[in-house]
């Protein structure tokens, strides 16, 4: 029961921290070799039409600024996804779409899709014709809100929380320590495979460590699929009925070897899937303004990883 109490304490604190997540507008990592001249690169549209937790003027500000300094033409997309809307974009980015504006602990279960069938069909057709989609969906209920869209491209999102497993019989302090351990992906243990996104355009862009911040676990099937971030063997996914509401009966499943990042070629287009969103942001959380995202300790290479991801989607990197 002490372990359950520790988990429940996290469940109380986490929603409060979420409400206090603000963009870190002082974060400006170097872009020593922009891929494109100023405002001359591909048109990158960030979805803001689906109650998105991340928008360009708020929690995804750093992502947009990083892409702009790399030469991308960045703009929000605030209408339903249609062929006409997608015609204005070369890269379409979706980060943490939601099916409603309800607080996460009041969502219906199972989580409804954030996207209408016609929107999913429009994205499928656009990618098949050569468009590039970056689909990012975090832990419950965000994974569930994007699950139907992901499935259209061969990915199975899990509407839960990916965590390192806590040893049986662990006390509260051990549980807190395990839950607080940063999730790091590195080549040496196979969690960061040698994908083109990891290699970059040359040795100066090579990524040797990526940090994520909880998120979900997923799988992808189909030709043209390549793993980018592989969860360690001791990871589990917690599957509560409502977000952050854990108890002794919360279902859990092993997800070691599942994915938190992957790519897939689809027709003439490309799709990159990620099961964690903060890693592409730079935020400050809570009263202490704790850095979370590309600005956090041990995430110093996340900005280059984000740029490499965009470069792969733009066809500058191949595999």
pLDDT tens by residue, 102-128? 999 889 989 999 999 999 999 999 999
Q: Tell whether 149 is covered by a domain.
A: yes
Q: Tell whether 318 is covered by a domain.
A: no
CB neighbours of 102 closer than 8 A, spacing ≥ 6? none
What range defines the domain where residue 101 resides? 2-313
**How does residue 16 score in pLDDT terms, banded at 50, 70 and 90?**
low
Contact between 54 and 281 under an 8 Å Cβ cutoff? The reply is: yes
Kindly tell me if the per-residue pLDDT of 175 is higher than 50: yes
Residue 6's H or E segment, with its range, is helix 2-19
Q: Tell whether 233 is covered by a domain.
A: yes
pLDDT for position 19 = 55
The total of structural domains in the chain comes to 1
pLDDT for position 181 = 84
Q: What average pLDDT does this structure show over 125-145?
A: 98
Q: Tell whether 122 is covered by a domain.
A: yes
Residue 54 has a CB neighbour count (10 Å cut-off) of 28
β-strand partners of 75: 45
Q: Tell whether 98 is covered by a domain.
A: yes
CATH number for the domain including 167? 3.40.50.880
Kindly tell me if the per-residue pLDDT of 206 is higher than 60: yes
Kindly tell me if the per-residue pLDDT of 256 is higher than 60: yes
pLDDT for position 13 = 44
Q: Tell whether 319 is covered by a domain.
A: no
Phi, psi of 238 (to 5 degrees): -90, 135
Distance separating alpha carbons of residues 123 and 82, to the nearest angstrom: 8
> In the chain, what percentage of residues exceed pLDDT 70?
92
Average pLDDT in the chain: 92
Kindly tell me if the per-residue pLDDT of 14 is higher than 60: no
pLDDT for position 174 = 63
């Amino acid at each position: 029961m002490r372990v359950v109490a520790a988990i429940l304490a996290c469940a109380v604190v986490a929603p409060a921290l979420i409400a206090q997540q603000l963009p870190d507008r002082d974060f400006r990592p170097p872009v020593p070799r922009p891929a494109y001249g100023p405002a001359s690169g591909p048109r990158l549209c960030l979805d803001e039409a689906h109650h998105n937790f991340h928008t360009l003027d708020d929690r995804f500000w750093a992502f947009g600024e990083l892409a702009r300094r790399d030469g991308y033409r960045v703009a929000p997309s605030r209408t339903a996804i249609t062929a006409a809307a997608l015609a204005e974009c070369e890269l379409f980015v979706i980060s943490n779409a939601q099916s409603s504006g309800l607080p996460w602990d009041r969502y219906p279960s199972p989580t409804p899709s954030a996207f209408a069938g016609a929107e999913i069909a429009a994205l499928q057709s656009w990618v098949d014709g050569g468009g590039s989609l970056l689909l990012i969906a975090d832990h419950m209920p965000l994974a569930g809100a994007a699950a139907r869209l992901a499935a259209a491209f061969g990915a199975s999102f899990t509407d839960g929380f990916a965590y390192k497993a806590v040893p049986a019989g662990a006390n509260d302090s051990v549980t807190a320590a395990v839950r607080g351990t940063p999730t790091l992906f590195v080549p040496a243990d196979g969690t960061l495979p040698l994908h083109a996104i990891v290699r970059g355009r040359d040795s100066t862009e090579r990524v040797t460590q990526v940090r994520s911040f909880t998120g979900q676990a997923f799988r992808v099937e189909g030709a043209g699929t390549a793993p980018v971030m592989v969860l360690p063997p001791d990871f589990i996914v917690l599957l509560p009925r409502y977000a952050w509401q854990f108890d002794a009966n919360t279902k859990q499943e092993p997800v070691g070897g599942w994915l938190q990042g992957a790519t897939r070629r689809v027709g003439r287009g490309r799709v990159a899937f990620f099961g964690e969103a903060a890693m592409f942001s730079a935020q400050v959380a809570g009263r202490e303004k704790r850095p979370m995202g590309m600005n956090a300790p041990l995430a110093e290479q996340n900005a280059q990883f984000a740029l490499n991801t965009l470069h792969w989607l733009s066809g500058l990197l191949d595999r």
